[in-house]
Each structure stands twice: as C-alpha cells, then as structure tokens.
Amino acid sequence: MLSSVFSPLSIKTSIDNKRTGAIMSTLLVAVAIGVAGCSNNVPDTSGVASSTQTSNNTTASPTASVSADNDQSVVAALQANLNASGIEEKVISAVPTDMDNIYWVTVEGLPAFFTDKSGKHIIQGQIIAVGAAEPIDISGALVARTAQDALKAVDKKDMIIYPAKGKTESVLYAFTDADCGYCRQLHEEMADINARGIEVRYLAWPRSEESIPKMEAIWCSEDRTAAMDQAKMGANVSGPDCSSPVAQQMALGASLGVRGTPAIFTESGQQIGGYLPAAQLAQAASIN
C-alpha cells in the first residue's frame, strides 16, 4: 500500500528538495501492523530533505554499511540517474537479489528499495518467489537485514536502555515519543517486560514539532532514564543544551520506514509492530 510521506519533524524544506520529497512520498510505505500505535501527527508532507536539524543547529543523517557483495557499477548507474532527475541523495550500496538483474539498494536518507541493473528504475514493494512448495518473500529478509545493520550501528551510549532482569533472552529496539499514549502504555509495563528477559533500547522519534524539545531534553539530561520515566508520566522535562542524537535517530527511523510510535524492532531487524502487552511482546520477540 502506497502512502504519502510524513515529515519527520524539524526536517528542513527548500525548493531544491521538492524532487526528494516526491521520491520519499513514493518510497515510505505504510507497514500493516495490526497493533496499536501513535501515528505521526504532522500534516505537512512536502519537500523532505535528507538530513535532520536539531535545535542547536547540528545536522546529521544515518550512514549505512556497505555490503561485501555491493555492485559498484549499479551504484554508479543509479547515482547518475538520480542526479539527472534532481535527486542528490547518496547511493550506498546495491546488492544482487534472488531475482536476476534486480538489486536491493540502500541510500542515505531514504528507505531501501529495488532497482534494475541499469539503475533506471526504482521498484518499491515486495518480491515474491514462487515455484517452490510455498511462496517466499525475498524482500522481507532484505528489509530485515538492512534494519539489523542500521540498528546495530547505533552506539549504545546514544540510546536509553532498560536492561533485562537476570539473563537477557532478547533485545528490542523501540522508536518512542514521550507524548505518545501507546508509548506511555508500553513504558508502564517496562518492569514486566524486563522481568521476561527482554532488554529495551529506546531511540527518539518525536511525532510533532512540539515534542522535539522534550525529547532533546530527555537525551541531554544527566540521568536519561529518570528523565524518560518522568516524561512518560506526563511531567515536563528540562535539560541543558547538548549535541543530542535525536536528529540522527529521526533520520534513521525515516530510513527504516517508521511511521508512528512505538515502532519496535527485534535484534534481527524484524519490525514486530507497535504497542503489545508484555506477554505478547515477549512471544513476538521469541519468534523473530
């Protein structure tokens, strides 16, 4: 299902970025989750740039790792075609898939997509292989691998981590917003989640312009965990100015197709949805 792109808030806009906004509108796909979450509440979807900007005027965008089977000739061809169409985002890699002459592409500031060997076409959606006993979604594994690599690259010091009690059975990454009701509901169950052997690693995903200062205050606080706990209970949180990772995490979420909060990923890169009660979350984590 195609959906128009939301602006990940405080993302700069300009006339030069209109083409980027158009491609983002095509590439950001709604994920059919079937569980509860808070959608982004910013209606402006025009002119999305490839970098985000924090309140202290620092910009950043996530950098993906280059796969060993990257085809540099496809990267060069696609980059030239994007530039010819006025799209300046940097192509990171293009790796072959199980489908002849079709490549999985990672680009700075954009969700991953498919292209052909000539780099002239952007293909968005699933590729299903048939002919075996059961259909195989070859795109699902590629999406998960892209997310796994990107999340693994985030420094632990830039996340707010709630460790498991006792042995760590699984790790979950959760893009969160202090003002999201479902995020608060999930946080209320954090003790239960941790008691089930699940470590939760929070990344910032403010859904509105008004939420950005609060999220930056949390990440700039001396005790981030305490600040997060207070914010999840509805308290106003203030903190010193700092070079926070909020902008980078917003850009990372955009590149992974995050469209609302909480957006929860397993350590293997599988997105398991939005809010789930602790018991269901533990079950979902164990099978992904």
Residue at which a domain ends, from 89, 119, 152: 152
User: Is 177 labeled as catalytic in the residue annotation?
Assistant: yes
Residues 141-156: tens digit of each pLDDT: 888 999 999 999 999 9
At residue 43, the pLDDT reads: 31
Which of the four pLDDT bands, split at 50, 70 and 90, describes residue 196?
very high
Looking at the fold, whether 277 and 186 belong to one and the same domain comes out as yes
Mean pLDDT of 160-172: 97
CATH number for position 241: 3.40.30.10
Residue 52: beta bridge partners?
A: 11, 60
Share of the chain above pLDDT 70, in %: 77
pLDDT above 60: residue 58: no
Question: What angle, rounded to 10 degrees, do the helices at 224-232 and 211-220 form?
Answer: 150
Q: State the catalytic residue, choosing from 38, 71, 177, 220.
A: 177
Task: Please calculate the CA angle 204-229-257 and round it to the nearest 5 degrees.
Answer: 20
Residue at which a domain ends, from 95, 122, 152: 152
Q: State the catalytic residue, choosing from 38, 71, 179, 183.
A: 183
pLDDT above 80: residue 24: no
Mean pLDDT of 170-191: 96
User: Is 180 labeled as catalytic in the residue annotation?
Assistant: yes
Mean pLDDT of 151-164: 97
Burial of residue 235 (number of CB atoms within 10 Å: 0-12, 13-18, 19+) = exposed
The H or E element containing residue 53 is strand 52-53
Q: State the catalytic residue, choosing from 184, 196, 201, 207.
A: 207
Looking at the fold, whether 53 and 165 belong to one and the same domain comes out as yes
- Residue 95 maps to a domain: yes
Q: What is the DSSP string of 13-35?
A: --GGGHHHHHHHHHH-B-----S
Q: Chain-wide mean pLDDT for the chain?
A: 81
CA distance 104 to 136: 16
Residue at which a domain ends, from 103, 133, 152: 152
- Residue 182 maps to a domain: yes
Could you tell me the residue range of the domain that residue 97 belongs to?
A: 72-152
Q: Report yes or no: 31 and 271 within 8 Å, Cβ to Cβ.
A: yes
Q: State the catalytic residue, choosing from 71, 179, 180, 184.
A: 180
CA distance 71 to 189: 45
Looking at the fold, whether 230 and 185 belong to one and the same domain comes out as yes
Lowest mean pLDDT among 55-69, 85-99, 128-142, 200-214: 55-69
pTM score, two decimals? 0.74
Burial of residue 223 (number of CB atoms within 10 Å: 0-12, 13-18, 19+) = exposed
At residue 10, the pLDDT reads: 34
Looking at the fold, whether 21 and 160 belong to one and the same domain comes out as yes
CA distance 8 to 110: 12
Residues 230-241: tens digit of each pLDDT: 999 999 898 888
CA distance 159 to 152: 12
Which amino acid is located at 19 in the chain? R
